[in-house]
Chains A and B, each alone.
Chain A
């Protein structure tokens, strides 16, 4: 299995280089001058020209591309045009926050969504099924930033269980945890909606299969039918959804990060875009692409766990 993983990661490298190239040219083609954004609208043309020269922006595009690729291939993602800090260190500062939010949201989504979907499938067309489907519809329809504000109103203003602005200090695990609750709930509850739906329909499909009928007629208790026979088969589409959603979560968390005032990868991408911070954008895109690759890899490995018919050479 190790060779499988290594092979997959190696194959990812050309993908990442391709992403880098595409992003490099696209962001530079977009109008907007980073020097102007940094210096402001009262700066003289000389000041702007000097800064552009310092940042290497007055070179022809191909020359800039060659310089950049050489740097990246030697392992250096460059420095932010705005803060002059290394891109990698900027990303490293926010990455833990994004990862913990993603994992927490994923955990809430699956731990709540899966059982809910299974129960809704078992008790199809009963009250609990309708309730679950209605809540799922709400979860799918609510934009993340609306539900985020509602959570703040409920838990921070009315109940006062949390402050509105949670300063997650890097070396204080308790503050990190308490700052994670509401944002994770926000993204997690939306994910519950997705997972529940897929789990339910997949479960319904499986419950109609012959081998389930056989198991029941054999006298296998209902609980065992669900757990041992139905669930593992029903899990495959759920794993797919969760795997896909993992990639989506990292980028789409930006609205949640903004409302809850949390540092994160999504927010960093949006800010760099607004500031036309080319180097940070490129670095972020590569890291993001790498995460998608890893997410897909993990999904594939998960299939192997769930479905013994899948073999990884």
Chain B
């Protein structure tokens, strides 16, 4: 780009000096544009937001990992651990670490001390946002510098799932955490293909390639992760060539517009964040199952998917997201049948209509979905009132059980148990000491969910999960709507090095296989 006057002279001189001392190849710098105002936290045991999760995926490893580009628990492969074995009852696991893995930023070799420290930190509710994932872990010990033993109180649905390079399973380097203290948030240290280099508040985080990465030196030298909260500015920066990889909008029009550029590739991938309308079965009139069924019959899933755009959204298949271990892909969801809805309402004594109040977030993608649902419900005589509040207020109020109708959008570890427990098990009911996100107050599938956890036969486990979903759907604890997929776009000069179908970090994984032309 043209700079004016003095600036041009400076740049020219600088370039000349650089050329004189140039390395043998030009530095490959990947510029990424993210929709966020600033860094939240690079600490993998604390990060809750999409912008932070994406960049963490490039900096850390777990004991095991999902094969890059997938999130299928059946494709979990070795990462920091070369191999592992478990006892018959699966309550004691031994992991054998790779030797010679180096912590970034000069913190030395990764040993079992680091792994034990990291896992204990991830399970500590005082530090970690994900401590509840480790509830079934009894002890974690280093039996020698390269061996770790994990003992369990009872079998979690997927121990390997918890130990992947996702959330609490990301391994941090002990000496770095101890040395950096509070600064770890902005300068986190792991073992991944890219290491922290520089952070400019409100502007960018710079990562440099880890030349000693145990899978091989990355071919991209530097990543500049730019914080550009304005959608329009981000799009303009992509158009002008200042960024090569852009966080997209989960929006059909945007995807179509980007696709029309011959040098742009739009990546639409999982996880699909499932939007469920949770109904509180203890509040009138929702305590009457006929009213809940009426709501289920009145909602037109296909219309919603069309509104959201078929490029970036797909209809829900069950009360938990599609393609998780245990999802019933052919779950018996209530079809669209407004006449049946009206009949059920009349039966329940609401032939002249019924009013239901709810708290709704002002976040546009969630709000406009609920406005359509509101219109669909109006057609059958249900008057859904939306009290719109800002997003943090919404989250605070729904957890205080102030809304009988809660539209919630989420993805979790792709094992049925996690979603079922967090949203539909009685111990997760909001307002209780062990609350998570059970807004429906449902408890009818507790037995099946608990039994599935203890099941040792994978086929039996899937069957129990299937039954649980059937029960919860029949009882209309929630009305599933659609799943919103992740949308990013890149210039065709960037090749990830693998096929991107899904990524739990909600962003593409940039690793040693990725190239930039």
Contact = CB atoms under 8 A, between A and B. Distances in A.
Interface of A: 30-33, 36-47, 50, 82-84, 93-94, 145, 149, 152-153, 156-157, 160-165, 167, 174-175, 178, 258-261, 263, 267, 271, 274-276
Interface in B128-175: 128-132, 167
7 contacts: A31-B393, A82-B40, A84-B182, A149-B233, A261-B203, A275-B392, A276-B392
Contacts of A276: 392
B158 to A, nearest CB: 16
B61 interface: no
Contacts of A160: 1-2, 240
A46 B433 CA distance: 8
Given A32-B390, A41-B48, A157-B240, 6 more contacts: A45-B433, A165-B237, A174-B6, A258-B233, A261-B229, A274-B390
A36 B392 contact: yes
Contacts of B392: 31-33, 36-37, 274-276
B62 to A, nearest CB: 17
A101 to B, nearest CB: 14
A185 to B, nearest CB: 14
Classify chain B: how many residues form its interface, as a range: 35 or more
A149 B228 CA distance: 14
Nearest to B229: A258
Interface string B111-137: 000000000000001101111100000
Given A32-B390, A258-B229, A39 B46 contact: yes
Contacts of B422: 42
Contact of B395 (A36, A145, A156): A36
Nearest to A37: B392
Which 6 A/B pairs are nearest by Cβ-Cβ distance? A40-B48, A32-B392, A164-B237, A43-B129, A263-B202, A46-B125
A167 B200 contact: yes
Given A39-B46, A40-B129, A161-B4, A260 B233 contact: yes
B410 interface: yes
Given A167-B204, A271-B38, A44 B393 contact: no
Nearest to B39: A83
Interface string B280-324: 000000000000000000000000000000000000000000000
B201 interface: yes
Given A165-B237, A259-B232, A271-B37, A45 B395 contact: no
B396 interface: yes
A47 B229 contact: no
Interface in B221-252: 226-230, 232-233, 236-237, 239-240, 242-243
Interface string B407-447: 00010100000000010000000000111110000000000
B48 A39 contact: yes
Contacts of B201: 93, 263
Interface in B477-511: none
Interface of B: 1-4, 6-7, 10, 37-38, 40, 46-49, 125-126, 128-132, 167, 182, 185-186, 200-204, 226-230, 232-233, 236-237, 239-240, 242-243, 389-393, 395-397, 399, 410, 412, 422, 433-437
Contacts of A145: 230
Nearest to B48: A40
A276 to B, nearest CB: 6
Contacts of A93: 201
Contact of A47 (B37, B131, B237, B242): B131
Nearest to B432: A45
Given A37-B392, A47-B129, A261 B230 contact: yes
A271 B39 CA distance: 11
Nearest to A79: B182
B125 A50 contact: yes
Contacts of A153: 236
Nearest to A258: B230
B131 A165 contact: no
Nearest to A174: B7
A174 B13 CA distance: 15
Given A41-B410, A47-B131, A271-B37, A157 B4 contact: no
Contact of B132 (A31, A38, A44, A174): A44
Identify the interface centre among A32, A42, A47, A260: most chain B CB within 10 Å of its CB. Answer: A42
